[in-house]
Amino acid sequence: MVLIISIDWYIGNEFNQFIYSDINRVPHRKIALVLGTSKYIQQSGETYYNAYYAYRVKAAAKLYQAGKIDGILVSGDNSTQFYDEPSQMTQDLINLGVPSEYINQDYAGFRTLDSIVRANKVFGLEDYTIISQKFHCQRALYIAQSKGQNPIAFSASKVQSFAGIKTRLREVLARFKAFLDCKILKTSPKFLGEPETINYRNYNNR
């Protein structure tokens, strides 16, 4: 328990210097990596819109429209033909005004570790912007720096609800798992594959 709490505290404090919440202050990066989650959640037999998802997609669109990024990589779970986070995020970003040609898809982002490692190994990213809620950004930055990457992060709006409390409790264990994966087990992503090209707007061609 002491180790778990210590790791949670370390990840929660060490990486705040790389996380931005003010869109006017976040440095420009060519690509933003949006970490996936389900658009809808099931609870007590009812289906609800997932605020974590909505805030991440809106944050990515705002960064693009503000000129803080030139392209977006959406990374999420596409484990079956009936569940496709990247395609859903792509469509919603298009609906928010992001051109489709500048949205790239990673269909094998089954976990945060997979998304971060594949961002570099498959899509060639090193200096980029991670988009998620702050607590998730902290863990993602920990994984990225453990893998020799140098991203920053933009914090999407946090969720004010009891679900937010439960998510924070799960995050404590997720951070311990990230420590094990990065430092002890040296866990690899479920899939890697061949390198892929990232598309983004190029002001030199305008």
φ and ψ of 199, to 5 deg: -100, 140
Instruction: Give the DSSP letter of residue 77.
Output: B
pLDDT of 202 = 87
pLDDT above 90 covers what percent of the chain? 85
pLDDT of 205 = 44
In this predicted model, which residue has the larger pLDDT, 81 or 70? Answer: 70
pLDDT of 163 = 61
Distance of alpha carbon 24 from alpha carbon 124, whole angstroms: 27
pLDDT at 129 over 60: yes
- The pTM score is 0.94
pLDDT at 169 over 80: yes
Given a contact cutoff of 8 angstroms between Cβ atoms, the answer to whether 75 and 34 are in contact is yes
- Average pLDDT score over the chain: 94
pLDDT of 164 = 63
pLDDT of 206 = 39
> In 3D, which of 120, 111, 23, 39 has the Cα closest to residue 73?
120
pLDDT of 166 = 79
Q: What is the number of other CB atoms lying within 10 angstroms of the CB of residue 152? A: 20
Is 3.40.50 the CATH classification of the domain at 7-205?
yes
pLDDT of 31 = 98
Distance of alpha carbon 84 from alpha carbon 79, whole angstroms: 7
